[in-house]
């Protein structure tokens, strides 16, 4: 189980994801020191600081979040505003725009 700093670490990392990029639950978990805690990252995203760009968080296949506030359509619209397109709720060119700093 992640330590008490995990939430703040995940939120700090999420704040760094640049506009026009996406990252995954697992990537954030690994960067925060707990690579097996991707589901915990999902909980943080769902209940965490809503001022962060959670719309840039996707699953390991580039799929949009089923539990995104407002649904996948809202997440797709927010991403499209940043130039990120999706087909059938999957990020187009996912690996090209995936943010993975020093994993």
**In the prediction, which pLDDT does 3 show?**
63
Average pLDDT for the chain: 94
Measured CA to CA, the distance from residue 16 to residue 30 in angstroms comes to: 15
Q: What is the pLDDT of residues 21-57, one digit of tens each?
A: 999 999 999 999 999 999 999 999 999 899 999 999 9
Domains of the chain: 6-97 (1.10.10.10)
At residue 16, the pLDDT reads 97
What is the model's pTM?
A: 0.93
What percent of the chain has a predicted confidence (pLDDT) above 70? 95
pLDDT over threshold 70, residue 1 = no
pLDDT at 103 over 80: no
E strand residue ranges, the chain: 23-24, 57-58, 86-87, 90-91
């Amino acid at each position: 189980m992640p330590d008490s700093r995990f939430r703040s670490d995940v939120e700090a990392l999420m704040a760094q994801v640049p506009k026009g990029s996406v990252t995954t639950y697992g990537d954030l978990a690994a960067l925060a020191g707990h690579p097996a805690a991707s589901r915990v990252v999902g909980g943080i995203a769902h209940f965490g600081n809503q001022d962060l760009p959670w719309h840039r968080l996707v699953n390991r296949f580039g799929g949009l979040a089923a539990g995104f506030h407002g649904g996948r359509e809202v997440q797709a619209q927010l991403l499209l505003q940043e130039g990120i397109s999706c087909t059938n709720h999957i990020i187009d060119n996912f690996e090209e725009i995936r943010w993975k700093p020093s994993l």
